[in-house]
Structure formats: structure tokens, C-alpha cells
Structure 1
């Protein structure tokens, strides 16, 4: 495969990543949505970001097996169309429930994109090149989030419904995928290569569940967390979410170098990065420079965790099982996002007596600290086992 062909595939990966980035298109205007639909429970408003995870889990698992019947290109073209169409459905009526259903249906696109993005990279790239391209994938998700959330925040200053315009990215991604992504047909199952998962895949999936149950609190709470002179300004929350995404871009581009330093501890290191960011958010909710630093640390966490986890699940199985392994991780990640508002808000009410963004970040920080410890223990056991097998 020559450089021109590789570049086309990388552009297709970027387009898929932009579809994933649309999950956060309403993040900068959550505060406005909460005010507009004041009779709606805050957890339901936050679920406008996490609700897509419900269908995403189901679709991810189904798509892991669908690749032996339908080509990845056709599935991804369908995902792009779904992302675009569901993004504009809320314009039909001023209804929170239409918005909620539309966001939930977007989960079909999210599930396909999350699962098949890794499968595309694994199909065309190997070894260190695979790690680098996975880093580019993470960077492009961040780039999409920067464009989507920053533009959404600016557009939202004219009214939160204007932020829906960012969903045009779904249709643009459809064009890029149609032109750039080769159609290699369906995955082939043989006697030696079957769709089988192993313990390592489930370990990484469990860590993914923990990471994203706590990490998603940044995007679901940041618009309502900023206080004093910053409060209620959708452009500020859009900027902070954009910086979060920008940090993900930077981390994706330097991932190869970071992994050479963190090695087997990359996933726990990603969790610690969020822990630092969460502590800053708790201590300085009205200090913009510190909030920017917190956004950077939280963005580093996602930019480090997703591509490395995807590489590890892809390397843990046979090539034909890559989509299913990715689907397993996507399912766990999506489930963590889905249950996050309900679980963390409930714990906040139980422990502190009330629900506030500050309390939620405290719980997320404590939970991520424990998760990082669990990640270190799992990593140490896996490394000791690997060394024992070599001996």
C-alpha cells in the first residue's frame, strides 16, 4: 500500500472520528437547555450526551458480527447518514423529548463509528504504524470535538437550537467515506481465525467502563459548573470543551512517544491525568486559567486512554475478531457513559445530601483514583504472567 492510499484511509479514519465527536455537540448549551426545559430533571438533560450510549452498546455488539455479512464501508456510510439526519430532527418541534429521542437514535451512528474505526485501522496498519494511526484517530476525535463544541458554543449564544447546525458534519463525513475508504468486502472467518475474545479484552473493557463513567462528568457538568462571572456563558463552556478536545488532539499526535515512557502503565496514567483535572475543577470553579488547565488534563486522559485501549484489544485477538473486541470495549465504554449521571448524582445525594457539579466531580475524582489503582494491579498481573510464559 503506497503513501497516497494510506493518506486516503487516514482521511477516512478522520471522517469516522468526526462522527464520534458529534456525541458532544450539545455539551456547550446544556445549561441553556436546562433553563429552557426547566421542568426536566437535570440527570435527563445531562443524558443528552450519554443517551446515545444506550443504542451504541447494542449496535456495537451487533456490528462486531455484522462485518462478516456487510462490508465496513457500507456500515460506516449508513452511520454517517444516521448522524446527519438525527442531528437535524430536533428542528421539527420545540420538544425536549424529540431532542432526547434524536440524541438516543444518534447512538446507532456512534456504535458503528466507535467499533469500526478501530477495525479499519487494524485492517490496514500493523505494529508501530498502527499505534501512530490510532493516535491520529484519537487526535481527529479531539479535532472534531474542538470544531463541534467551539462552533456549537458560538452558535448557541444566539439560541441553543442553533448548535444543532454542527450536525452537518455527518453528511460531510458521508462524502469523505464514499470517496476515500476502500471497500474490502466482508470479513472472512476460517477454521484458524474465528471470532473469539479472551480475558485481556474483558480486562481492558472493564477499565474502559470505569474510565468513562468518571471522565464523562467533564462534558456533562462543565457548562453548569463554571461559576460567578463565567456562569451562563455558553461560549466559555464551549471554549473549555474545545480545549478538552484540543488536548486530546495533542495527546493523540504524541501518543507514540508517551507510550514509550509510560509503557504498560499507559491506561492507569490516563486515569491519573483526569484525577488531576478533576481536583482543579473542584478547587477553582471561577478561575478561567485554572479551568483551562483542568480541561487540558481531562483531555489528555481521553486522548491517551482510548487509542491505547483500542490498540491493546486489537492486539489481543485474531484479525477477524478485531471488530468484536472493539465492540466489547465500546459497549463497556458506552455503558459507563450511560449510567454515569444517574449513579454519580445518586451518590452525591446520598453522601452530601444534595446534587451539585462540585460534589459530582469529588466523587469522580475519588472513583478515578481507585480505578487507577485497579488498572495498575491488572497491568502488573498481566506483565508478570507474560514474563512467566517467556521463562
Structure 2
């Protein structure tokens, strides 16, 4: 961040900047980031109950699962536009507006009576999430630099995970009361909006918003960005097997109810949060590419374990191992993409990354539901584990060849 009276380096480390990065600002950014978890997974424990409530609707199982993933489609469609708006008109305006919209669209399901109207509210929810996560991540990359950015992006992912634990447990408990109960969790946004409006400030940047497009597109490191977008999409297709399919897997295998499903998903989220908290230390020891290898290794092993589970304990062990991998995914993607993106173009590239992530979430049931019907959920999880371990092997080989090429 720059000012009229100091150089960029002085402003970035100066006392005024540090004073403005107070606890409430940090809380606002972290809490806003956690809203993305609430958008989808909070509804997961109530899916079986919703299926029974709307039993007279044809293909109800598909439409109910779509409630969980539809926001992801609209996040993906809206995120590039949200990135452009953030670069052009400012991060703070977009953040506050979308937090308020999030509260109204999220809680609407508590009052609505038809599945179609709930689906529409979920689509609007997705649009609001696109603005929230794009502006929040762009603000973090504007406020923080160097190792501090790596640490705070780890905190961001951890806070998303810890928020997910709270929201999932709350959603699971409220789903025991009514399938409408989890919609009340979204009212958290009404508390967050005024706090963020007061605490967040619009950062000054080197280029004005009017001239945000960089002159040299090659400085974007397009091959790296392309790989990151693919990895984000594929990773979320596989990871979202947990919130979308796990409640049905647990009900089928162990006759588990909503609270057990929510607590099981929350376990993976809690472990991922602990891992994310330590991402700054992890990044000092491993390259971004090797962290991708570790992500595939842990998630693949976890899927194999709970896909073949004969007890809830084995399911929880597998979910915990899977959580270790997912805890590295988001901070690694976010930190890597901002490292290879010019400041002026950052909002749009972060928006593209968000689009890839949430397209993966949306297409997860579309891609995996036919496989589930043909093989069963246990085989689906085991197959996903094998796919991830193969990915770890391919990335390890690629990293080895890159190192040998550099030494040649």
C-alpha cells in the first residue's frame, strides 16, 4: 500500500499501516472468509430430512443435493465479474454489499415453502459469496506481504475450517429440530456486516482502479495459473464427496442421523483448520508443488481408509487424515496465485481461482452421482483415493524432472 508522503516499502511496514490492521479488521476478514464454508456444508446434515419432506417431487434426491451445490455454480459464474468489480470500484464496497445480501438470501430458506423458491435463494446466495470471498482474499493480499501474507492466508483457511466446525455442528443440531433449522445459521452475516463496515478500509495501491489492467500479460505466469485452476477444480470435485455424499454413506452403512453426519464432517474440518494454522511453517520447508503432492497423498489415504470402513471409528480416522490434506489446499492455492499475479490484476485472477474452486464443488455430484449408482458409495470413495494417490505420483515425477532440468 502506498501513500502520498512515503514510499511503498515504508508504507507497507510503517506504523500507520500496522495500527490500521487491528484486531477487528483481521476478525472481519477471517469471519467473512468463513461464510464460504457456511454457504454449502451447513446444509449437509439436513439433506436426508429434506429429501423426505419433498418426497413427492420427481428426482427429489438430485434436487435436494443441488441445494448444497447450486451456490457453488453461481459463485463460479459470478466470481470473475466480482474480481473485475473489486479491481475497478474497490474491495470494501463489494465486501459489505455482498455480506448483507448473503444474510438475506441465506436465511430465506427458513421461510420459503417450495423447493424451487429455495433453489432461487441459494443461487442468490452464491452470487453474494463470490463477492465476499473475492474481495476478502484480495484485501488480505493487499494488506499483508511476504511471510506475514503466508501466515495470514493460513489463518484464513484455519478460520474457515473452525467456522465450518461451528456451523456444521450448529447445522447438525438444528437439523434434528427441523430441516429448516440450518438456514438460521446464515443470520451470522447480519452481525458481521456492521463490524466489517467500520473496521475494513480501502487500501491504496500503486495503480488506480481505472488503469488496473496490466500492460504485459506474460507477467501473469499463465501456465502456472492454468495449473492452479485445474488443480483447484479437480481437488474440489474430489473433496466435495464428503459434504455431498457422506451423510448418505453414514446413514446407509451405520444408520447415522443428522448430528453424527455433521460432527463427522466437522472433524475433517477441525483437523484441516489445525493444519492451516501451521501452513506458514510448512511453506518454509516445502515448495508449492510439493505441498500439492502432500495434499493428494493425505486426501487419497484418507479416502481409502473411510471408504473401506467397517466402523465409525475407522470413518473418523480416514476423515482426519483427509482433513490434513485439505488444510493445505486453500492457503497453498491462494498464496501461490497471488505470488504469480501482478497487484493490479489480482482481483480478477483471485476471482478466476474462486470460479474454478466452486465449479468443482458444483460439478462434484454431477460427475460422481452416476459413478455412485454404478459402484456404490464405498467403491466411489476408494476410487477417489486411488485417483488422488496417482495424482501424487504424477506430481512427484514432474517435480523430480523439473529439478533435474534445472541442474542440467
Report the TM-score, using the length of structure 2 for normalisation. 0.86
The answer to whether 1:14 aligns with 2:18 is: no
User: Which residue in 2 is equivalent to 1:253?
Assistant: 277
Q: Which runs of 5+ in 1 are unaligned?
A: none
Q: What is the CA distance between 1:204 and its match in structure 2?
A: 0.8
Of 351, 366, 369 in structure 2, the residue corresponding to residue 345 of structure 1 is: 369
Q: What is the CA distance between 1:130 and its match in structure 2?
A: 0.6
The answer to whether 1:113 aligns with 2:132 is: yes
Of 62, 73, 76 in structure 2, the residue corresponding to residue 57 of structure 1 is: 76
Answer yes or no: is the 8 Å Cα contact 1:52–1:107 preserved in 2: yes
Give CA deviations for 1:301-342 in whole Å, capped at 9, x if unaligned: 222011111100000011112212211211111111111111
Give CA deviations for 1:81-130 in whole Å, capped at 9, x if unaligned: 12111112123332222222222221112212232222111101111111
User: Which residue in 2 is equivalent to 1:282?
Assistant: 307
Alignment of 1:125-136 (within 5 A): 125-136=144-155
Q: What is the CA distance between 1:379 and its match in structure 2?
A: 4.5
78-87 vs 228-237, greater mean Cα deviation: 228-237
Of 63, 78, 89 in structure 2, the residue corresponding to residue 70 of structure 1 is: 89
Of 293, 304, 310 in structure 2, the residue corresponding to residue 268 of structure 1 is: 293
Alignment of 1:20-39 (within 5 A): 20-23=36-39, 24-38=41-55, 39=57
Of 126, 137, 143 in structure 2, the residue corresponding to residue 124 of structure 1 is: 143
Alignment of 1:188-227 (within 5 A): 189=211, 197=220, 198-227=222-251
Of 376, 385, 389 in structure 2, the residue corresponding to residue 365 of structure 1 is: 385
Q: What is the CA distance between 1:67 and its match in structure 2?
A: 2.1
Of 117, 133, 146 in structure 2, the residue corresponding to residue 98 of structure 1 is: 117
> Hey, what's the Cα distance between the residues in 1 that align with 2:100 and 2:43?
19
Give CA deviations for 1:105-160 in whole Å, capped at 9, x if unaligned: 21112212232222111101111111000000001111111111100101111111
Cα 1:2/1:184, change in 2 over 3 Å: closer
> Hey, what's the Cα distance between the residues in 1 that align with 2:75 and 2:141?
21
User: Which residue in 1 is equivalent to 2:160?
Assistant: 141
Of 263, 266, 279 in structure 2, the residue corresponding to residue 239 of structure 1 is: 263
Q: What is the CA distance between 1:4 and its match in structure 2?
A: 6.0
User: Which residue in 2 is equivalent to 1:152?
Assistant: 171
The answer to whether 1:169 aligns with 2:188 is: yes
User: Which residue in 1 is equivalent to 2:14?
Assistant: none
Cα 1:252/1:238, change in 2 over 3 Å: same
Cα 1:43/1:277, change in 2 over 3 Å: farther
> Hey, what's the Cα distance between the residues in 2 that align with 1:217 and 1:133?
28
Q: What is the CA distance between 1:191 and its match in structure 2?
A: 8.2
221-230 vs 298-307, greater mean Cα deviation: 221-230
Q: What SS class does the counterpart of residue 177 from structure 2 fall into?
A: coil
Larger radius of gyration: 2
Cα 1:220/1:55, change in 2 over 3 Å: same
Could you say what the CA RMSD is over the residues aligned between the two structures, in angstroms? 2.4
> Hey, what's the Cα distance between the residues in 2 that align with 1:203 and 1:126?
23
User: Which residue in 1 is equivalent to 2:9?
Assistant: none
Q: Which runs of 5+ in 2 are unaligned?
A: 1-16
Give CA deviations for 1:25-46 in whole Å, capped at 9, x if unaligned: 1012112122222343423322
Cα 1:229/1:370, change in 2 over 3 Å: closer
Q: What is the CA distance between 1:17 and its match in structure 2?
A: 1.3
Aligned residues: 383
Cα 1:378/1:54, change in 2 over 3 Å: farther
